[in-house]
Structure 1
Amino acid sequence: MHTLTLRRSLLLAGLALTLGGCVTAPPLPPAPTTDEIVQMSKDGIPPAEIIQRLEESRALYPLKASQLAKLREDGVSDEVIDYMQQTLIETERMREAMRERDRMWMYGYPYYPAYPWGYWRRPYR
């Protein structure tokens, strides 16, 4: 009888640990579109609040220079436009650093393979 209780306890503990790993983070709020950003600016919402909403949604805006100029013409503040550009730049820098890290790990950094392998080491270029 004692082993049955022990087995049940272990089974319940394992089940609790397994299901505990399934907990996910709450979903991010939807990223505002550029039209919504323009509308928020026209409605008089301060740039700090618009930037906070962009931060919460972790939005990225890969916009062309002409699109950024259009946002400026439509009344979006320089602070918001600068934030949109800065987050994109920082994200691209991080992605490049991760690619470089993976490339170095793949080839045994800091020890590179000997000839002839050194000539074939450019998978990302």
Structure 2
Amino acid sequence: STGDLETPLGHVPLRFGVPYLLCHQGHCEHYISFLDAKEERASSHSLLSPRITHASAIRDSENPYPMVLFRGKLARHRCRICNNYPAEYVTINDVMSGETPCFFCQYCFEPFHCDSQGNSLGQ
């Protein structure tokens, strides 16, 4: 269902190669980027059989546009402490963590690096 979408894709001013943040279901976030776009025309399907028209190709397909051509894998580091949440912070040469780089989620970073008043325990 697209009833909860605030901005239709056709209303987004496209900039090629720029990452966009796609949010859905209130909390699920994905980065997408556009590398190329083509205007929807009958001539864009010139490889189709002459008896298959562009209109019939669209009618026979549930969702012809946009067509996904490639899905890249986004490598996301998990928190080194809890191993449950994605890392939001990374430390380099942190003597307290024991490895460099070390990745922390938002929940583990402060208790591991700050005192009860929020002051940094490291240098």
- TM-score normalised by L of structure 2: 0.25
**1 or 2, which has the higher helix percentage?**
1
More RCO (CA 8 Å, sep 6+):
1
